[in-house]
Chain A
Amino acid sequence: MSSGVLVVGYGNPLRTDDGIGPMAAQRLADDPRLEGATVLTAHQLLPELALDVSRAALAVLIDVRADAPPASVAIESVEPAPAGDNGTAWSHHLTPTALGSLALELYGAAPEMVVVSIGAASLEVGDRPSAELEAALPRIVDAVVGVVQGRTRARIVEPSHA
């Protein structure tokens, strides 16, 4: 059972590999290894997610990164930033760090947060990921399951995507 686990796959499904987060989340929603987990998809990390995050014991965010080799999977831990040091002049979306900060500020709790990311091969307009990332989808799914099951220890990867 994975109760207390929140998984959020986010990105734009109409920008090819940017949609890999939601696609992975959809697979994980039906994965028996994550039974009991709350799995969400989102285009962006929005302030409304702070409540969900604050209620979780572990939050795993799945995203794509443009600054990593295509299809390379990284697992990073995220620490909420101190108040006022959110590291973003945001408009209406948040970084993982800011989301954790908001959960802590507003609801007094921020869980262990981990970002599972994969390097993009393409971020062009398109409603399905590149063949390279589509082939890598099982690895992303397994990486998330590994984090949830405690088999994979989160580490900071530089340059940080958080």
Chain B
Amino acid sequence: MEAPATNKIVIDPITRIEGHSKITIHLDDAGEVADAQFHVTQFRGFERIVQGRPIHEMPSIMARICGICPVSHLIASSKACDEILSVEPPPTGADLRRIMNLAQIVQSNALSFFHLSSPDLLFGFDADPAKRNIIGVAGANPQLARDGVGVRRFGQQIIEWLGGKRIHPAFVVPGGVDAPLSAETRDRILSTIPEALAATERAIAWYKETLVRFEEDAATFGDFPSAFMGLVDRAGNVDHYDGWLRVMDAQGRLLADRLDPRGYQDYLGEAVEPWTYLKSTYWKTLGYPNGIYRVGPLARVIVAVQMGTPRADVELDEFRRRVGRVPSSSFHYHYARLIDMLHSIERIEELLRGPDILSPRVRSFAGVNSNEGIGVSEAPRGTLLHHYKVDDNGIVQWANLVIATGHNNLAMNRSVAQVAKHYVKSAKLTEPMLNRVEAVIRCYDPCLSCSTHALGQMPLQVQLLGPDGAVLDELER
């Protein structure tokens, strides 16, 4: 059967996301959007690069995947190595890992919300692109911009104080962490918490006022039923470091609960498409591509019973009153991201006030006791899995990474198609359409260097292609 003729619009790359990519929008003969695809066109290499490396190098190598979220890879990689050593970190070592992971969540969520998305929310998607950036925010709402700088700095400082530097710190190692916490550093972090909480709560209050202006967008920004997945603790509350996977469907029913992440290959499939280097992960029971699910802040607040910290739980209750128990629109990633941030700051304080947080026992030592290890944690963008196989000398033979952006790939594609169908009304490319297609991708805050391990960046290009593949229109940014 002959495929139906289509036109195609290409957006290449998407700006204000972590990394760069391309979108094609396919038009049918009537000029209506038939489909859309989110292309990640860079080569992915880390799973091959690490073959032949000793496992004690793995956390440091894997942290190089991303300059935004190196800690997330440190955590997942070290946990996979823990399994290979057959050790558990001492409780204080695990808590210090948690603190650094939560600091990572805070700084990355702050980057996404304040620096990348707040310009759209403050000025609207139709505003002058020259104004829709952090400098524009600084002029129009300096408190919001200061809060963004302050909250991100809060997270980065914790990482730097614990790990010696903001980007690619060491600290998290197989077996625990490499140094105990000093009382001075603990008190230093504690002294910054009140302002971080205040700034985040100001941002939440501002967002709740702002949300009413975006009702139409919320209804078209990836508004479709899907499952959601995230880690929860024994009580079913959010856990960014450990626990069990919980999967909830669009009606709020549990598809799975208390799943051991180590069995991920039993229930998660990874599909490969010829038009992208980014794998599409799917829930095996529902098959590909129907097994679509979302991860990240929105999924975390949906699958959890509660956040588990007082201020965040108050906000979660209001979130559920405002947008429902299982909101279907990806626009609400922004709201969820703020609650996730608030919870993380509260949790850092709780952990720092723990009675044993200054214990010198922070690392377990062992040799290779297993030939396979799987580590899982919640990264800012969602569930992150590292899976290694080693020989008896601890030399890596095989590695597989399942990255949050891969979990969300099917949802991102569907979201782009939905936005395109709503806003693309002709074969001519327009700036508002372009902005919204990009913005829906930003809801997921995809990390393309994580998901594909890219080198370099691509310029922004939008192409409209006719049924015969000829370029009808083109935009570059």
| Interface set of A (CB-CB < 8 Å, partner B) | 14, 41-43, 46-48, 50-51, 83-84, 86, 88-92, 94, 98, 101-102, 105-107, 125
Contact = CB atoms under 8 A, between A and B. Distances in A.
Nearest to B64: A14
A101 B94 CA distance: 41
Contacts of B149: 47-48, 50-51, 102, 106
A48 B139 contact: no
B415 interface: no
Contact of A89 (B67, B130, B145, B152): B130
Looking at chain A's contact residues, is the secondary structure mostly helix, strand, loop, or mixed?
loop
B138 A48 contact: no
- Counting chain B CB atoms within 10 Å of each CB, the highest count among A48, A89, A91, A102 belongs to A48
B366 interface: no
Contacts of B111: 92
Nearest to B13: A91
A47 B115 CA distance: 8
Contacts of A94: 134
Interface in B208-224: none
Given A92-B16, A106-B149, A43 B135 contact: no
Contact of A43 (B18, B67, B130): B67
Interface in B126-147: 129-131, 133-136, 138-139, 142, 145-146
Nearest to B146: A106
Contacts of A90: 133-134
A41 to B, nearest CB: 8
A14 B64 CA distance: 10
Nearest to B455: A125
B150 to A, nearest CB: 8
Given A43-B167, A106-B149, A89 B477 contact: yes
Contacts of A14: 64
Given A47-B148, A51-B153, A105-B139, A86 B133 contact: yes
A42 to B, nearest CB: 8
B135 A105 contact: yes
Contacts of A43: 67, 167
B445 to A, nearest CB: 11
Given A84-B135, A90-B134, A102-B135, A48 B142 contact: no
Interface string B392-410: 0000000000000000000
B136 A91 contact: no
Contacts of A83: 135-136, 138-139
Nearest to B145: A106
Given A47-B148, A125-B455, A84 B130 contact: yes
A4 to B, nearest CB: 20
Contacts of A41: 165
B238 interface: no
B123 to A, nearest CB: 11
A41 B160 CA distance: 12
A45 B360 CA distance: 36
B153 A102 contact: no
B390 to A, nearest CB: 25
B138 A106 contact: yes
Contacts of B138: 83, 101-102, 105-106
Contact of B139 (A42, A47, A84, A89): A84
A106 B16 contact: no
Contacts of B130: 84, 89
A105 B133 CA distance: 13
A48 B116 contact: no
Interface string B54-73: 00000000001001100000
A46 B139 CA distance: 17
Nearest to B111: A92
A91 B139 contact: no
Q: Which 4 A-B pairs have the closest CB atoms?
A: A105-B138, A83-B139, A86-B135, A48-B153
29 contacts: A41-B165, A42-B166, A43-B67, A47-B115, A47-B134, A47-B145, A47-B149, A48-B152, A51-B150, A83-B136, A83-B139, A84-B130, A84-B131, A84-B135, A84-B136, A86-B136, A89-B130, A89-B477, A91-B17, A92-B16, A92-B18, A92-B111, A101-B135, A102-B149, A105-B135, A105-B138, A105-B142, A106-B138, A106-B146
A105 B146 CA distance: 9
B88 to A, nearest CB: 33
B455 A89 contact: no
A84 to B, nearest CB: 6
Contacts of A48: 149, 152-153, 156
Among B134, B136, B139, B148, find the residue whose CB has the most chain A CB atoms closer than 10 A.
B134
Contact of B133 (A42, A89, A107, A125): A89
Contacts of A50: 149
A11 to B, nearest CB: 12
Contact of A98 (B67, B135, B152): B135
Q: Considering residues A83, A94, A101, A102, which has the most beta carbons from chain B within 10 angstroms of its beta carbon? A: A102
A65 B361 CA distance: 47
